[in-house]
Amino acid sequence: MQIAVIGAGYVGLTISACWVRMGHQVTCVESDPARLSTIQGGKLPFFEPELEDLVAEGVARGSLRATGVFADAVAPAEVVFIAVGTPSRRTGEPDLSAIDAVTDALRRVPRAERIVGIKSTIPVGTTDRIADALRAAGPAHVAHTPEFLAEGTAVSDFFHPYRVIIGTRSQTAGRVLSSLYQPLRCPILVTDPCTSEMTKYASNTFLATKVSFINQIAALCERTGADVAAVASGMGLDPRVGPHFFRAGVGFGGSCLPKDTRALIALAEQCRLSPALFDTVLKVNDAQRDRFVEKARIALGELAGKRIAVFGLAFKGGTSDVRESPAVDIIGRLMAEGVAVRAFDPAAEDGAMRAVPGLVCCPDIYEAAEGADAVAILTDWQEFVTLDWGRLRRLVREPLVLDGRGLPIADAASAAGFVYIGPSTAVGARPRSAEAARHYAGTPHVASGDS
């Protein structure tokens, strides 16, 4: 099948390369000239495991093309996927200007019949509005087909989806898109566009809720002596609860969970309903960052003048993306308090240095650790699980590790002589000064949201 994909970001480029691997011809449209020429050269403009080989292979075979000329991609395409961004406005509502611009551009490239699959996350009612606009200009079968792939595992998520949702009022769009996804052998739910649009927002907000839930439990564990990782494992064995999205730590970031939770809050307010649960999810998430900085302050006695080695800058492991990254936020706060930060991230260094002016990044983790008063782990990169803690012990000034991601490293770090402080470790167990001890004893927990 001849497919056009509008927007070559994480979603657009991943699905383009994956459709090519499934035997289709794909042309993706990208308006950013630098990004476009990188893709045309068979390279990736961002880091995403497994994607580079697929892109290089597709470009070399001529099955994957990238262009800046909208009509060249769209005119011959039987199916057009729209994968442009819908970032938050200041009000929390999504900014639909990119998707509206694509709709206008599509109206100017007529075709006898066309299937349009909207991958972008859009407010309830938007697909119907776009379908009306497109049909006014010619025959179009429009569907919302939300994308559920996650950064860092995008290629594998594409080929092994839990489900595909097709929200449409067009039988043709339902039939064609179902047959396109059929080889992936997963449940395919064909529904109306409003339900599909809501399912996407609800899915991401539910994941955000799970993370905030376990983080609130972590705060209680910290005060009561329970171990949050073990609590999460115990809860997760019940299939009604499930083990996923239960890692406590510095909270969720990225371009999707915070944005989509804000969008549901805006929608609830428009509907004159209380967004209380969603509000609290964000409030608890923000508090995780305060809580981490507070734990660092208590563990170190004071922050000003201290040196902290930060491992991880991306919003999660496996990506170079630093959008709404808890690590970037926490580093900014530490630096504002007079901490000298030396950071390492396997992929996100460039983005983080743009986001935090003056940030010092090191070429490897051991260089970042030299002379540090503490090591702070802020991203769950897999490679941080197998660090040489003996070597780190010889490099740091103080053997203290503040693990903001709850990695399974406590035993290895402790065996090498580090004091390990995880998401539910009470820092008061190791006060560095009388002042810190007093502070800890008298500080209400920041994650409670009422302090």
Residue 149 lies near ligand UGA (rule: CB under 6 A): yes
CA pair distance 118, 167, nearest whole angstrom: 9
User: Contact between 385 and ligand UGA (CB under 6 A)?
Assistant: no
Nearer to ligand UGA, 143 or 300 (CB): 143
When binding is defined by CB under 6 A, the residue of 19, 246, 292, 344 that contacts ligand UGA is: 246
User: Which residue in 86, 204, 320, 425 binds ligand UGA (CB under 6 A)?
Assistant: 204
Contacting range for ligand UGA; rule: CB under 6 A; set: 63-71, 170-178, 251-259, 392-400: 251-259
Residue closer to ligand UGA, measured from CB, 98 or 395 = 98
253, 275, 312, 423: residue in contact with ligand UGA (rule CB under 6 A): 253
Residues recorded for the chain: 451
Nearer to ligand UGA, 170 or 319 (CB): 319
CA-nearest of 124, 153, 138, 429 to 318 is 153
Cβ-based neighbours of 74, under 8 Å, separated by 6 or more: 4, 6, 29, 80, 105, 106, 109, 111
Catalytic annotation on 256? yes
Q: How far apart are CA 100 and CA 93, in angstroms?
A: 15
- Residue 47 found at the interface with ligand UGA (CB under 6 A): no
Residue 148 interacting with ligand UGA (CB under 6 A)? yes
Q: Closer CB to ligand UGA, residue 163 or residue 432?
A: 163
249 sits near ligand UGA (criterion: CB under 6 A):
yes
Q: How many CB atoms lie within 10 A of CB 7?
A: 25
**Residue 311 phi, psi (nearest 5):** -100, 110
Cα-Cα-Cα-Cα torsion 156, 158, 162, 168, nearest 10 degrees, comes to 170
CA–CA dist 237, 316 (Å, integer): 24
| Residues of this chain, 54-93, that bind ligand UGA according to CB under 6 A | none
Give burial (CB, 10 Å; 0-12/13-18/19+) of 175.
middle
Stretch that binds ligand UGA, among 38-46, 67-75, 242-250, 433-441 (CB under 6 A): 242-250
**Nearer residue to ligand UGA within complex by CB, 21 or 316:** 316
386 Cβ neighbours under 8 A, 6+ residues apart: none
Binding-site string for ligand UGA from residue 109 to residue 128, where x marks contact by CB under 6 A and - marks none: ------------x-------
Residue 197 makes contact with ligand UGA by CB under 6 A: no
Between CA 396 and CA 277 the distance in angstroms is: 42
Nearer to ligand UGA, 84 or 257 (CB): 257
Site residues for ligand UGA, 386-405, by CB under 6 A, read: none
The reply on whether position 196 binds ligand UGA by CB under 6 A is: no
The DSSP annotation for 65-107 comes to EEES-HHHHHTT-SEEEE----PBPTTSSB--HHHHHHHHHHH
- Catalytically annotated residue among 221, 256, 361, 362: 256
Give the total of residues touching ligand UGA (CB under 6 A).
Answer: 22
Residues serving a catalytic function are 256
- Given the rule CB under 6 A, which residues bind ligand UGA? 121, 147-151, 204, 207, 211, 245-247, 249, 251-254, 256-257, 315-316, 380
